[in-house]
Structures are given as C-alpha cells and as structure tokens.
Structure 1
C-alpha cells in the first residue's frame, strides 16, 4: 500500500486525532499512549507528531485504513507487531515515516 499523507492534531498529552485520506473521504483515528510506553520503547525522545506520523505509516504499510479501528492505543499496537518499535525507530532515524 502506498504511504498516505496523514494530518495529526494534538488532543491532549500523548493523545492525537489522525486524519487519513481515503479516496474522496477521510478516516479519523484517535491514537493514544501512556508516557511509560514511549519511554519503554525508547520512543519518548522523538517529537510526538512526527512519531504519530511514523506509527501511522507503519500501520498503513500493513493494513488498509478501513481495517484500522477508530481508536488505537500504542500498547495494543506494540502487542500486535513484534517488529513495531524497531521499525518505527529505524524509519524515523532514516528520515522516513515507516
């Protein structure tokens, strides 16, 4: 799947609303995390909006946007994908998004 341009809007601490284009429409997804998860994954040092874009790029490379739930917790993503943290760290370090 091609990387889609996502828009990230801050809601509150570690809580974002992500808009993903889908044809003529857009899909809204709420992405949340606990600060401890970011720290445990060594992702806490990254600028959060950039991190959210990298997380979404990672997910969209593996699933269609229609298949993603409307609410995502970073903890659930980590549990579902063994290579998640390593892949996202590598993508951000390389200047990519996933």
Structure 2
C-alpha cells in the first residue's frame, strides 16, 4: 500500500497534511502544542519533522482514510501510549 503525504505550514503550530492512498485522498489539520512537545521531550525537534513522523506513525496504526479532520498530538499520545517515545526515537535516528 503506497501512501504519500504533503505537509504544509498554514498557521503557527498548524499544519495541513494532504494524503493519497489507494486511489483516495484527503486532508487533516494537525495542531502542534509547544507545551505538550516540551512535556514529552520533543521540543528540540523541528515541528514539521514532528508532523511528518506523526503522520507516518498514524498510518502504521490505522488506515489513512480514517485519519480525523483535526489531529491534536495530545490526543494521539492518549490513544497510543508509546507515541511520544516512538516519535522521539524516530526523530533522533535521522
């Protein structure tokens, strides 16, 4: 399954993620909260990279057609307890 993402900063701490997968496409607005990023140890990383890795992480855990229209990182962390740890490992590996 080939999935592509196009990520664009649209406002401070807000990124539009356009995705295409298996002939379908859609978009989600991802909110990054600097306080949350600091709380989980991700504040030293570029926000756009955090969003890129977050979308990849989500795509590994659910079909992209099920991505919500609005994504808050705190909600992902609440749904997936290993999210922050996995994201930090991914970002440090690059």
Alpha-carbon RMSD across the aligned residues, in angstroms, is 1.4
Map Cα deviations across residues 43-98 of structure 1 (whole Å, 9 max, x no partner). Answer: 11111111100000000001001112111111111111110000011111112xxx
Residue 6 of structure 1 is matched in structure 2 by 5
TM-score (norm 2): 0.90
Answer 1 or 2: which has greater strand percent.
2
CA–CA separation in structure 1 for the residues paired with 2:10 and 2:87? 22
TM-score (norm 1): 0.87
CA–CA separation in structure 2 for the residues paired with 1:24 and 1:79? 30
Unmatched 5+ stretches in structure 2: none
Residue 79 of structure 1 is matched in structure 2 by 78
Residue 46 of structure 2 is matched in structure 1 by 47
The structure 1 segments of at least 4 consecutive aligned residues displaced by more than 3 Å after TM superposition are none
CA–CA separation in structure 1 for the residues paired with 2:50 and 2:84? 11
Aligned ranges for residues 26-41 of structure 1 at < 5 Å? 26-41=25-40
The alpha carbon displacement at 1:3 in A equals 6.7
